[in-house]
Every structure is written in structure tokens, then in C-alpha cells.
Amino acid sequence: MDITLWQFRYSPYNEKARWALDFKRLPHRRVDLMPGPHAGRVRKLSGQTSTPVVTIDGRPVAGSAAILAELDRLAPEPPLATADAEVRDIERRFDDDWGPRIRRKVLALLLEDYGYFTRVFAEGQSLAQRMIYRAVLPLAAGMVRRGNGIVGPESIADGQAALEEALDFVAERSRATGYLVGEGFTAADLTAASMLAMAVDPPDSTMARPQPMAKSFGAWVASSQAHPGAAWVRAIYARHRAG
């Protein structure tokens, strides 16, 4: 199979796709895109503008949940149990509820420092592209906020509440076996750990942010590290995340 992943470097949804490809040891190429300028290219590929998109022998599959299910179909071993109802339910809770809410908090903090925002989202691009991205960011910041539901202090506070709910959930749910469903690693664990990596920033991973972090963002990341849910994220990354 000829597989290409069209991705944002620091998006948890894109991390889900990367992780699944690595977990199944599927050779692939990764194309890093910058949020905003990505839209035309992704629309041409898939008829919509969200990432991740995977092309498999030229055929596009868009959306992290669809990608995980398709990879489970094409490469059943090792399995991610994407057809299991309990696994799907947890994946949806993180994809559709906790993930977007936590992302509001993350983006609000990152937008406090345009230089660091550029380092995060334009990493790997040419110097000229990074300079242009930084220059237009003050004009685009309002669009980023509106597009992600950041409409005031309440929406940012709700992002913090979502993080605490999700950390409590994984800590309690994994207490018996170390996993969220049954006794082994599934798409539920992969999804939860990817989403929570926005706040936990597991070391030596593809979600580890550029160092040094912006002051307010770094302080926020540090504030969650002692939570048992954060320890679970780090353990899942250490145990199951390669590449």
C-alpha cells in the first residue's frame, strides 16, 4: 500500500492517525501542513478541509475515527478493536466532547504568545513561510478563536473543566487493568491518550511541544502533571507509542 498522512503536527486528531499507522507498522509518508493555509490543499484531496486525511493508494480517508476504522480493516493485526461498541463510545466522548473543549483552553493559552504559536504550528516549514505565518497571525487570531468556539472566559474555563473530567475518567476507568476497555490496548486508549497529550505533553513523543514553552502555557502543562490521569497518559505513551 502507498499511504500518505496529511497532518497538523500538534493536533490530537492527527496524532491518533500517526499513532495508529505506527502501531500497525504501516510504512507511510507524512506531509506537514500549516493550519489555515492547509485548506485548499486538503479540500482538493478530500472534498473537505479538516485534518487528518490519509490517502491509501490515492484514495482519501478523512477524519481520525474513520482512519482508525479503515486501518483496522486493512491491517487487522495488531487490532485496535474499533468495531467494539464500548471502544467506539469512549472514542466519541473524547473526539466530540472532551477533545474540542480542552482544545479551546490550549489554543487560548497559545494565542497569548504569537511567537510560540508560530513555533508550534509552523514547525518544519521554511523560514519564509514561518515569517509570513507570524506576520498574519494577529489578523487571523480572531478567526482561530471563533472557529474553535473560544467566545469568552466561560468557554476557556469550560476547557479546563473538560480536562479535569477527562483526567478523572481515565484514572478511574483504568484502575483495574491499566486500560479503558478490557485488558489490552484499544482505540479507546489511543484516542484518550492523544487528546490528553494536549495538556500532559508526554516526553519524547510526537506531541512534545517545542522547548522552552511559552510561560503561561508551560505553567498550565505543569499544573496537571501530578494527576493520576496524567500518569496514565505517560504510561500508555511509554508502553504503546513508538515513532
157: alpha, beta or left? (left if phi > 0; alpha if psi -120 to 50): alpha
pLDDT classification of 242: cutoffs 50, 70, 90: low
Q: Is residue 54 part of a domain?
A: yes
Pick the closest to residue 119 from 17, 218, 227, 240 (CA basis): 218
Supply the CATH number for residue 166's domain: 1.20.1050
39: alpha, beta or left? (left if phi > 0; alpha if psi -120 to 50): alpha
Give the residue from 45, 74, 103 where a domain finishes: 74
Q: What is the pTM of this model?
A: 0.93
**Is 28's pLDDT higher than 90?**
yes
**Is 243's pLDDT higher than 60?**
no
Tell me the C-alpha distance between 14 and 53, whole Å: 8
**Is 37's pLDDT higher than 80?**
no
Q: Based on the structure, what is the number of domains in the chain?
A: 2
Helix (H, G, I), strand (E, B) or coil at 59: strand
Give the residue from 74, 94, 116 where a domain finishes: 74
Q: Average pLDDT for residues 85-114, to the nearest whole number?
A: 97
Range of the domain at 55: 3-74
Question: Hey, how many other C-beta atoms are within 10 angstroms of the C-beta on 209?
Answer: 20
Tell me the C-alpha distance between 21 and 3, whole Å: 9
Q: Is residue 80 part of a domain?
A: no
Q: Is residue 79 part of a domain?
A: no
- Mean of pLDDT over the chain: 94
- Taking only the tens place, the pLDDT of each residue in 118-163 is 999 888 888 999 999 999 999 999 999 999 999 999 999 999 999 9
